[in-house]
Amino acid sequence: MMNDTNFDRIEDFLDGELSNEQLKEFEKNLLDDSDLQLELSLHEEVEDAIMEQDVMDLRNKLESIETPPTETKKRKYKYLSKWNITAASLALLIGLGSLMYLTNHKSSYSNDKVYSNYYKPYNVVINTRSSDVTVDNLLVSALKSYESKDYRTALSLFKKILDKDSTNITGNFYSGVSNLEINEYSKANKNFDRVMRHKNNLFIEQTEWYLGFCYLMTNERDKAIVQFNSIAKGNSFYKTKAREILNRLE
């Protein structure tokens, strides 16, 4: 359970209200405290979910608004001639036919459009510390490069970690996202496959999500649909967005 002190610090961190000294101390604690890292990750995901729900609520409210006809329009409709009524009826039939056609032939999004609308890189969260000091230092440096969007430098540092241990979860996950950022989708796929093989880890849901985008960008649309369908049927944080993507793809 998140304690009150951590909750307040995380709130201030996300709102940019920490002083320079407090920020340095928080970042140092974040590197050393896996519980704090997890709490930050959960806090960010909750905020994303709340924001998404707010947008959906606003959209529903806007769609529920109906503009009542004015008195001028009422009088206009009252004095329509038989010819105008016939023409209006014909136009209505044509309109309904067009609506039915569009409903039955809804256009799906391209892979690129789904990717641009739904993909975004994952925030930095360190979930473990290795007993190997060299790996620790490399990991910190790699994640700093990743956070500053210097993905190629980050990848070169993650590679050194993976050369020592090809199964390193953190190294593989952030390498995968870094490869997505530089359009190396096949390489990202391999990174995510390694994370998936370990099944129970902090990044498993995120990896399932990003793997769907790998399939999209390697033109494996059917695999992407299967992947997002699996997410939509589960209890993942991403299930609502996965359903939206399926509506765009199918």
Tell me if 175 is assigned to some domain: yes
Summarize pLDDT for 27-57 with one digit per residue, the tens: 777 777 767 777 777 766 666 655 555 555 5
- 122 and 81 in a common domain: no
Tell me if 141 is assigned to some domain: yes
Number of domains in the chain: 3
- 160 and 98 in a common domain: no
- 215 and 123 in a common domain: yes
Tell me if 209 is assigned to some domain: yes
- What single string gives the DSSP state of each residue in 86-150? HHHHHHHHHHHHHHHHHHHTPPPPPHHHHHHHH--PPPP------S-HHHHHHHHHHHHHHHTT-
Sequence-distant (≥ 6) Cβ neighbours of residue 41 within 8 angstroms = 123, 125, 202
Sign of CA dihedral 182, 185, 187, 189: positive
CA atoms within 13 A on the CB side of 248: 20
- 214 and 147 in a common domain: yes
- 175 and 95 in a common domain: no
- 120 and 48 in a common domain: no
pLDDT at 19: 84
Domain with 197, as residue range(s), is 111-249
Query: Which of 113, 98, 133, 125 is CA-nearest to residue 36?
Result: 125
pLDDT exceeds cutoff 70 at 179: yes
pLDDT at 214: 96
- 141 and 78 in a common domain: no
**Structure confidence at residue 104 as a pLDDT band (50, 70, 90):** very low
Tell me if 66 is assigned to some domain: no
Sequence-distant (≥ 6) Cβ neighbours of residue 49 within 8 angstroms = 237
- 223 and 131 in a common domain: yes
- 174 and 137 in a common domain: yes
pLDDT at 10: 78
Range in 1-5, 18-22, 234-238 the model is least confident about: 1-5
pLDDT at 13: 76
Tell me if 89 is assigned to some domain: yes
- 129 and 230 in a common domain: yes
CB-based contacts of 130-136 (< 8 A; 24+ apart in sequence):
130/168, 132/164, 134/164, 135/161, 135/164, 135/165, 135/168
